[in-house]
Structure 1
Amino acid sequence: MAAEFKQKELDGKQREIKEKNDVLDSLNMMVVELKTELTIAQAELDGAYGSRAERAADVAAIKSNDQVNELHTQIDTLKTELDQTLKQLEDITRETITAEREKLEIEGRLDDTIAARATLEAEIEELRQRLDAEVLGSREKINKLQEELDTQRLKAVPTGEGGASRPGAGASMLSEQFRATMREERKKFQEDLRRLLFRRCRSSRLGGGATRHAACCRATLSVRGSVACRAATCATRLAALGLGSGGFLDDVVLGLFENLARALNLVLLLKHLLDLAKEGRVAAKGKGEVFGLDFWRPAWWAARLASKATPWMKSTGG
């Protein structure tokens, strides 16, 4: 509301400045017209009564008192008209000075208004950054709570009738958690990408190379088969285009690669967990059990994962 009020006040001041400029222009035109009329009157006077030397000769030649009195009357009339013209010129000059002073005052107010607007914009930007930081902090807290909740869910596995473990419950729960995690990661990536596009598009517009790079990435992701092949091919295209300067598209593609790698790790982890679940189911079936109690304990899974950790799990700290 404050920025809108400042904008309205700024528009009003600009209109006042425009009106004062129009008045000033009209006054200047009037001064020019008066000067022109004065020059024309002087020229007509010279044409009607001759030059100053000629008039002096005529005055010397005049001997009649009546003609002298008539000339004095004409001189008085001309002096009166000249005084009125000078007075009008002084009034116009005074109004011009007043208008110029008001114009300077309005320009000073306009500068103050622009400075206040810049201050408000800086405060709004600071508040926006603070809000973004709080949102990111809240998101991290939510992710941490979600991880703790997932850990508790793994500890409290649902059982069937009579307290027996329900077959396939662990795999089903892991599958549901994987779907929920993938939905959350996809939504988070879309929000980050939208925010990044909004911030970068405010400062600059994309050029031809950026358009070609975006088209190349879309074509690469639609043609290649696997996630790893897509990432490698898009990285090769990025290097070929020479877009490794850490700019806008590098940030976008880097975020895309991170999300693709995260999705690939989740898929491989789920496959590995399903293989372990199948192994535990076969072992329990060989012993005549549906599922052993150790199968549902996190320690059993930790031991299995530690004994069969794949290279990608070791490299990513999984």
Structure 2
Amino acid sequence: MKLNKLKLLLVLVLLPVISSPVSAAGTEGSTLESVIKLMIAVTAFLVALVMWLVLVYAESNDPEGEKFLAPFRSFFAFMTRSTPVSKEEEILLSHDYDGIRELDNKIPPWFSAMFYGTILFAVIYLVNYHIIGSGNVQEEEYLAEVRQAAIEKQILTASGALIDEETVKFVDDPGALASGEEIYVKNCAACHAVDGGGLVGPNFTDDYWIHGGSIKDIFRTIKYGVPQKGMISWESQLSPNQMQDVASYIKTLVGTTPANPKAPEGTIWKDDTSETESNE
């Protein structure tokens, strides 16, 4: 009667443990958390099964556990081929090393199975990777990673994440220049005039530049600003793509004729041909 109560208590305790991860796996999908919970549940189930077997054998007039342990002992004997202590005289070698005797034990089957398994694995690996060539060898793995890196680079380039003052390029795409003009009119015209002729800020239409007139210089000025002259940094308000667009638009203002051009400031800047290359 006591054992029956113990069985019932064991089932009641394990029931929520087993059922909760199964239901979680159904609702959350194959997530790591659900897999871990399922593994814990299976382990708990196996422990419960072993405890149940112990209780069953305890009720079958086997107080010493001989019936329960017999299968495990047979399996252990098969896997180890160990010789009973009572028969060790039969496998005792004749050598005597300062009173130390040696037993001629056989190699355990589990060790032999592992050894032959490694040989089989090596043969399959050799054929698959170096003869048939269907395996993902190191060179193929490297090339696959290079292709993946190229895809990720394209994605990052498209998002503008790779654009900075060292990698920025002049873009002559009409859409990009239109975007740059819109940003310029909204954020820059108040200081530099809509036509770029200059107000508080310098004139963008002549060849004189205070902080350099290359696309990289303009991008750097937009990104970090000129605090001592009252120009803020736009890094937190504009994306790298937007800063590249507006810098490219400012470059297109050079040589135009504004309504009221401000007097030249800075030094004459002449573009290198490499500075005006398109991204296309």
Higher strand share: 2
What TM-score do the two structures reach when normalised by structure 1? 0.22
